């Protein structure tokens, strides 16, 4: 007998596993940075933070992995706690609805979407880190899923609106990363839950592939705009970056 499935094609009754694993990874990375820095609230002064954080000039200098690794870093314990709480609250239901593989895909493309949005339009002098882009992708996904399930999405939309207002009004929060993750996450989940049953896998894979292509295209567009950069580590251990040829 075939097991009953959710509208996204996941087996009904599966327990969330990916969300706890993601939370554990984020906590582990935070503990490493805190230990390296010797201060749990100033963990950004660590070697791993310097190697993984998203600073656009370093990405332009060839360190493209920062678009992904920055999503596992956090500025202090409060930043980590807020993002992990949101991931736990939002992620469990979405993982059950989508299934583990689809959830991982949504999480990662949202994370990359937030990172590329910062790279594309962000301030070249600002360092960015945090899982917020991926978390906002989950927020957008929850809202889309509510519409598909014919559930009133008002609560989900209110949460998104409140968090966007907070992103605008509180200094030091990356609005671009949040919006980028939100848009990509909503589009990814839309492809998952609105896919016709007879072509479900094709549409779902095609949606994720199209979003990845879009993200890569935006990355190369910005890379071409910025030109060639070079970064060197100074005597203080901090990198300095400059455009080659001016």
Q: pLDDT tens, 97-133? A: 999 999 999 999 999 999 999 999 988 888 999 999 9
Residue 149 has pLDDT above 60, yes or no: yes
Checking if the pLDDT of 144 tops 90, the result is: yes
Predicted TM-score (pTM) of this structure:
0.93
Of 44, 46, 167, 178, the active-site residue reads: 178
Q: Could you tell me if residue 122 is inside a domain?
A: yes
Let me know the angle formed at the C-alpha of 174 by 227 and 19, rounded to the nearest 5 degrees: 110
CATH value at residue 31: 1.20.1540.10
Mark whether 178 is an active-site residue.
yes
pLDDT value for 246: 57
Average of pLDDT values for 54-68? 93
Number of domains in the chain: 1
d(CA 246, CA 239): 18
- 6 within a domain of the structure (yes/no): no
Distances (CA, A) of 33 to 87, 144, 196: 20, 35, 45
Answer whether residue 165 is part of any domain. yes
Whole-number Cα distances in Å, 167 to 39, 81, 148, 172, 199: 26, 17, 27, 8, 38
Q: Is residue 74 among the annotated active site residues?
A: no
- Residue of 46, 132, 167, 174 with catalytic role: 132
Residue 33's domain comprises 18-229
What the block records as the tokens of 57 is 């000039």
Determine, yes or no, domain membership for 130: yes
41 found inside a domain? yes
What is the arithmetic mean of pLDDT over 146-150? Answer: 92
The three-state secondary structure class of 133 is helix
Q: Is residue 3 part of a domain?
A: no
pLDDT for 1 = 57
CA distances from 239 to 3, 20, 127, 235 (A): 54, 34, 12, 9
Is residue 7 situated within a structural domain?
no
In a domain, 243, yes or no: no
- Euclidean distance between CA atoms 210 and 116, whole angstroms: 15
Question: pLDDT, tens digit, for every residue of 163-183?
Answer: 888 877 776 778 899 999 999
């Amino acid at each position: 007998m075939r097991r009953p499935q959710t509208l996204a094609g996941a087996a009904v009754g599966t327990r969330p596993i990916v969300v706890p694993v993601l939370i554990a990874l984020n906590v582990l990375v935070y503990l490493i940075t805190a230990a390296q820095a010797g201060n749990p609230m100033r963990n950004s002064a660590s070697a791993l933070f310097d190697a993984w954080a998203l600073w656009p000039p370093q990405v332009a200098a060839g360190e493209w992995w920062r678009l992904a690794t920055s999503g596992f870093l956090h500025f202090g314990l409060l930043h980590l706690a807020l993002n992990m709480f949101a991931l736990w609250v939002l992620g469990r239901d979405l993982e059950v609805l989508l299934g583990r593989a689809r959830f991982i895909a949504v999480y990662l493309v949202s994370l990359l979407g937030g990172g590329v949005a910062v790279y594309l339009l962000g301030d070249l002098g600002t360092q960015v880190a945090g899982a917020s882009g991926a978390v906002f992708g989950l927020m957008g996904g929850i809202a889309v899923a509510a519409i598909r399930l014919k559930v009133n999405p008002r609560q989900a939309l209110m949460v998104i609106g409140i968090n966007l207002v907070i992103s605008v009004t509180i200094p030091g929060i990356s609005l671009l990363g949040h919006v980028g993750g939100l848009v990509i996450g909503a589009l990814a989940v839309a492809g998952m839950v609105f896919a016709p049953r007879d072509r479900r896998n094709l549409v779902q894979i095609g949606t994720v592939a199209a979003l990845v292509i879009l993200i890569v295209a935006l990355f190369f567009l910005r890379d071409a705009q910025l030109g060639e950069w070079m970064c060197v580590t100074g005597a203080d251990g901090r990198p300095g970056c400059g455009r080659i040829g001016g």
